[in-house]
Amino acid sequence: MAKEENKLQYSLIDIDGVKYKTILTEKFKQRKKYEENNPNLIRAFIPGTILEILIKNKRKVKEGDIVLILEAMKMMNSVIAPMDGEVKLTVKKGDIVSKNQILFEII
Neighbours of 57 (CB within 10 A): 12
Q: What is the largest CA-CA distance in the chain?
A: 68
Q: Residue 88: what residue type?
A: K
pLDDT at res. 7: 73
Q: How many residues are recorded in the chain?
A: 107
pLDDT at res. 9: 84
Please name the residues in contact with 101: beta carbons below 8 A apart, sequence gap of 6 or more. 43, 44, 91
Look at residues 92, 88, 90 and name the one whose alpha carbon lies nearest to residue 106. 88
Q: What is the pLDDT along the chain (107 residues), one digit of tens a residue?
A: 455 555 778 889 899 999 999 998 889 889 988 888 899 999 999 999 999 999 999 999 999 999 999 999 999 999 999 999 999 999 999 999 999 999 999 99
Compute the distance between CA of residue 15 and CA of residue 98 in angstroms, rounded to an integer: 34
**In this structure, which CATH number among 3.40.630.10, 2.40.50.100, 3.40.50.620, 2.60.120.1440 belongs to the domain 41-106?**
2.40.50.100
pLDDT at res. 34: 85
